[in-house]
Structure 1
Amino acid sequence: MDLLMFIFVAAVAVISDGFTVHGPSDPLVAPLGSSVVLPCYVDEPLPVKDLEVEWRRTDSEALVHLYQDGESRAEVQQEDYQDRANFFTDQIQHGNFSLRLDNLRAEDEGEYTCKVYSQQDSGETVVQIKVDNVERLLVSGSSRSISASVGEDVTLNCSVDSHIKPEHIEEVSWRKTDEKEDIPVLLYQNNEALPDSSDEQYRDRVEFFTDEIPKGNFSLRLKSVRTEDKGVYMCQVFAGRLSANATVVLEKLGFSALQIMVLILSIAASGSALLLCCLIYCISHDDSFLRLHLSLVLCPNMIMFFAFVFWGVSDGSVNETVCCSALYFLRPLLLLWAAPYINKFTGKIKTWIQEYSYVAEYVVFSFVVYSALFKTAWQKLLNYAEFERVVIIVLFSIVFLSCLCKIIHFLVSEIGKKTRRIIKIIDLVADIIFEILPTLQFMILFYTFGSTGGAGFIIVVILPVFMMMTNDRWFFRCRRVGCSRSVIRTVMIIFTLVMNAVMIGLYIMTLEKTTDPIGWGCVLVFLQILWTVMKFTDATFSYLRLSQGFQRFVLMYVFGSVGVVLLTSAALITELILKTVNGDRTLGDLRFIVFPVECLFVVSVLISGLFESKIASCLKSCQDSVRSRRVKRSQQNQNQNPEETEMLENP
């Protein structure tokens, strides 16, 4: 009886169980970031109707996944397992309730329970996961180089594949790297982007895609691409002891609309200069002759003015753009003064061109240059002592006051036809200051960019010496000791050359601490040469100054109106093309070309005024020599022609 009862109870137990849920006998071991399958199955398929499969963490009862009512219920999953835990849906009808867990994390380690409910029966199994301690950090960028046009926005890809959550990544660093430089572009640290870490050339132009960072996407948006942005960029990721990097190549930068405009304007300036020069040569005596000359003076230079403006917007620096644009806007004034057809003008127009055009260029250009220098100096004033700050502001104010006085005098006396006493006082003040302007210029540069240790010595000693050197009355008094006019003029020229050499040396010495010393040096040398022209033309005594009627040489005028424009436009085109191709500027500053060429033109005009008689006689002798050679050749040809004719008639 007892044996029968035991057999009956065992049979009832087996029947009541209905099914047995199976799982692995040993823990599952998998590396971080990998996918692992958690086995859970029954021997015989179960009816799908009323079937429910539930996976939970044993320790926290967190719901990993649920199969219910014939479908996977992903919406009820714990957030940490969404998009990572999935059933093999097509296998459930065959009794396979295994779960695939992707992108395995360290916190996934532990026990998981698979519970199966079918009609009135249920069963379960436990699966244990052990995460391998092998750590992984992979960073990927772009497999292909990126091409873009200047001015566009580009995306530099960088994605991080790791078991480490993005918010636990310590640092992501974007840098531009090549053989010559290593420039910080943008830094992500302590769960935030740090724009202040960017180099100045990338400031306000780079940013992360904030919404993508939680997904491990640290791609970079680079806005308004420039030609110098071309190169190799490295995305480096640091997480604990791990670090990895990927590179992105930005190349094949095309021309932007502004750069195309610069090319068109530069070519137009060169073409217009050559075309107008040819027309003037062909039409030597015509009513349109003077208009063509005025067009040659104005059109190429105004076109180059706009070319430099567009260049500054697209690629050029502020100081470079301001100086070059101002020069080409004012160049026609000096060209008018140096033009050989100046005598075709009559009345007050001719007088103004002869006496004031080049002065107007010097005054306005000085005002523009020292405004740009003052902007640079203003950034340094906070680091100076109060006394030095006051001295710098006063010196700049004196220069500005002098320029304004001269401009007011031009506008009121020449254009407004006013000659009141106040106008004469304004002109006198401007003339007095202009006598010592080179010294003031040096003082400004010395206080702003140089060492201020010897400032007292400069004020007490150098200033009076330069004032004496720039005053032609000292040379006139040399007549009292029996010096001839030619000797006095020669001494004055030598003295002026020495003074200019000293001033240029002082400029170079004091400009070493600026960001673009050579560029500013070229500009100030041009100003010094232009001041020398003013000095000789405004000299008190006639034998010391350039004659109002001195001969204008066509060759020098053509060089100034055509040659200078051709050289500058060629330099601008070359710099633009090389910068686009190489991603970096060749010259670095176009003032290296623009102002030395302009200095050469101004010096040639000055020499032609000082030694006009000698140059004229030399040119005349050369012309006579060439003419005599032509006459001899023509005579020889005439002598040979009869002999050749006779030989042809009597072979």
Structure 2
Amino acid sequence: MVERRLLVFMLWVGVALVTGSEINCSSELIEAEYGEAVTLPCHLQPPQDATDMKVKWSHGPLNHTVHQYQDRRDDPGEQKELFKGRTLLFHDRLTEGNLSLKLSSLRLSDTGKYTCSFHTETLQSSCYIELTVGESDVIGSHIPVKAVVGDHVILPCHLEPPFDVKTLTVEWKRNKTHVHTYRHRKDDPSIQAENFKGRTSLFREEMTRGNISLKLTNVSELDAGNYTCHVPKLHSQVKRGNVTLIVEQVDNGTGNRSNHSGDPGTAAKIGISSGVIVAIIVAIIGAIIGAIIGGVLWRKRKCGERGWRGCHRVDREETRETSQEDSPERVQLNDLQNGS
């Protein structure tokens, strides 16, 4: 063990003496998201021209060749198939001792340890970098979105961590109804439900940052319900997010709002309340009509065979007699009679 450490130290000293530099990699874990690009830093310190050196990047315990540079050019001969077309060495910075590698279109299998090494005719030196490739999840909203009939509304949905989805398919549905579909870098209205046509849009400039929120214009009560944003080809366990839209109807008479969330239970409750109100109104109207009919029947019995005109004459005579009884002369006469 001591002999091995001594050998490594002597090799490092030899490299430093011959090249005047040592190779350095980042000691921090490099984290990146699926589909993104990342630069794995590696350089000679102090800076030294590496144009005439052999530079090699390898991956994993089997040291699969990721990228190789020699004889002043890239050499893809030994490159592993899964890395082809995805690696880049910065040739214009080799004169500064920059051996960093850019790796594009990251895959989950790219996770692991990478070795950066340079070779001369007599020496070789290496350093190591750990890369972790993660996944982005689709995030909706746990808080319901409220809107008034006729308003424009935004249903929030995004990828966390942020991830460019411009090349992927994005689907919005309300239950099983197709609300909006984006594929092949453009909107696809071919399967869109008729009542949503011309009223939906995505924020194209924000999609590179993982924003897939939906804008819905001219909201109606029929729009209320549960919406799902879906990225079917996303390499993640969470490909869907949910948003609930509640549509409020404003009563012009009272200024109060009634909510519509698309929930059958809510609709049933609204129907029951409306039925009770209607029953009460019908009962009041029935009572009024009954009172009117009762009054008419009572008056008819009172008038008997006299008919309506005779009944009116009786009423006038009774009214006249009452007025005479209450007159001052009648009252005085009654007092004289009582005194005698």
Q: Which has the higher strand share?
A: 2
Query: Which of the pair has the greater relative contact order for Cα pairs under 8 Å at 6+ separation?
Result: 2
TM-score between both structures, scaled by the size of structure 1 = 0.28
Q: Which has the higher helix share?
A: 1
TM-score between both structures, scaled by the size of structure 2 = 0.47
